Amino acid sequence: MSLLTLARDLKRRRARERQGLFVAEGIRAVEELLRSPLRVRGALVSPQLSSDARGSALASSFDQHAIPIQTLTEAEFASAAETDTPQGVLAIAEIPDAPLAALPARDVFRIVVLDAIQDPGNVGVIVRSAAALGALATVALPGTVDLWNAKVVRSSMGAHFHHPAFSCTWPELTAFLDERDTTLWGADGAGDPLDTVLADGPESIPDRLALAVGNEGRGLSPDTRRRADRMVALPIAPAVESLNVAVATGIILYELRR
Amino acid sequence: MSLLTLARDLKRRRARERQGLFVAEGIRAVEELLRSPLRVRGALVSPQLSSDARGSALASSFDQHAIPIQTLTEAEFASAAETDTPQGVLAIAEIPDAPLAALPARDVFRIVVLDAIQDPGNVGVIVRSAAALGALATVALPGTVDLWNAKVVRSSMGAHFHHPAFSCTWPELTAFLDERDTTLWGADGAGDPLDTVLADGPESIPDRLALAVGNEGRGLSPDTRRRADRMVALPIAPAVESLNVAVATGIILYELRR
């Protein structure tokens, strides 16, 4: 299969899962990918890439990394690209295998649990925030958009090339929480106000904490509500229904950082 | 001009500015618009709206509000809609006239200043956060995407139907800051860590504060850097270049709330 055919195929979640591969598109994302430990299988480039100094530098770095390249016309490139204004470069890389059980043992950590988050932009921004704010991992429960969807990869700005982000089932998550003596909290508008939680002093904040954040419309799933040890809320003005889930996740992670 | 022609015309920023009108699309946004103080000029509906109980209720509420309706075929509706999967309803409403000088006098307030933010999703999420976290207003400096762009309106979830959000020039902002004795801080990765700023105690946090947040790629403009009294930063992991601007704005607003 040519790299072009492969890249087109990888637009579908099923193909990404079967092949264990994903696509990173654009100069910035591909630069980030080359700096990461992920294995790059190949790259597609169009003449447009060399119209830019940064693009030309990137094109020559594929040779240094011994990465196979296929050079395409603009029209061919556009058929594989997912952005409206492609920058003439995309790379195909291996999805890292990172099960929950393989996460390093720590006495103090935070994990973000995505409970059926639908919007790829939200998921990417949450992965980026989790990485920036020092979380150990981001895990996606069933019903969440694929973490290796092109839009998620773009909006994470390459954060999940370094930060462990992967999907898991409820039984896997439950086993992890039990084995690592980890507390699960959920973010929910009707929960305990975060101010009150923090006012109880540092000993009220678990050392090992998983924070679940829920679907944009429906909030947390019944499974998460049943399993969570506590619900926490951010106080907001009554005229506004809720904060955007990525903003709420960022604020809570920041407030609960250790 | 028919409502259909008007709605199509209002896809362009220049038309919105000339007419002083904008378009809210989708059931949730239009419901929110009808609950707001904004004046609605008319609505476009397609048969699809009545396929849903909530949509039918919305259709009948136009009569109660004496709002003119034009009923369209799905194809005509699609020509005015900006979403890929239209819900069969959009409304045309007046952009509220809300200059900085007209903001109510307060002893303590926060204002968010958008300094050339380009992504409509980021702008909408920031307006929603500013409203939720009790800011007095959100103002957009030149170079920021139009606040009444359909994507901004969608991602704000109707927050700026209630919360004052408008564009302003540098001279207008400067005059406001002087007249209201308001301090301008900028969010910048190289600024003073927010922890340190807060550790100095509540008297180090201005009562009247404008927080400027900058462009996704370039950060704050030279004008803002010159004028700002202080730069503040959120400490993040070294592997990540920055937080998403909407997340950073949410965290800083939350931390500096009064």
CB proximity under 8 Å: A 118-177 to B: 121, 125, 128-129, 131-134, 155, 157, 159, 162-163
This model's pTM is above 0.90: yes
Q: Across the interface, do B250 and A255 touch by the CB < 8 Å criterion? A: no
Contacts of B240 in chain A (CB under 8 A): 128, 131-132, 157, 159, 162-163
Q: CB–CB of A255/A157 below 8 Å? A: no
Question: In the predicted model, what is the mean pLDDT of residues A65-94?
Answer: 92
Q: Distance between CA B33 and CA B77 in Å, rounded?
A: 19
Contacts of B156 in chain A (CB under 8 A): none
Can you tell me the ipTM of this complex? 0.94
Q: Tell me whether A193 touches chain B (CB under 8 Å).
A: no
Q: What is the pLDDT of residues A33-44, one digit of tens each?
A: 999 999 999 999
Q: Tell me whether A38 touches chain B (CB under 8 Å).
A: no
Q: Tell me whether B198 touches chain A (CB under 8 Å).
A: no
Scan for tokens 């994507």, then name that residue. Answer: B151
pLDDT above 80: residue A193: yes
Per-residue pLDDT of chain B (258 residues; tens, 9 = 90+): 899 999 999 999 999 999 999 999 999 899 999 999 999 999 999 999 988 899 999 999 998 999 999 999 999 999 999 887 789 999 999 999 888 999 999 999 999 999 999 999 999 999 999 999 999 999 999 999 999 999 999 999 989 899 999 999 999 999 999 999 999 999 999 999 999 999 988 888 999 999 999 999 899 999 999 999 999 999 999 888 899 999 999 999 999 998
The predicted pLDDT at position B241 comes to 86
Question: CA nearest B36 in A: which residue?
Answer: A239
Q: Distance between CA A75 and CA A48 in Å, rounded?
A: 11
Helix orientation angle between A120-132 and A245-255, rounded to the nearest 10 degrees: 10
Q: CB–CB of B135/B163 below 8 Å? A: yes
Q: CB–CB of A135/B239 below 8 Å? A: no
Q: What is the pLDDT of residues B93-132, one digit of tens each?
A: 999 988 899 999 999 999 999 999 999 999 999 999 999 9
A22 pLDDT band, cuts 50/70/90, is: very high
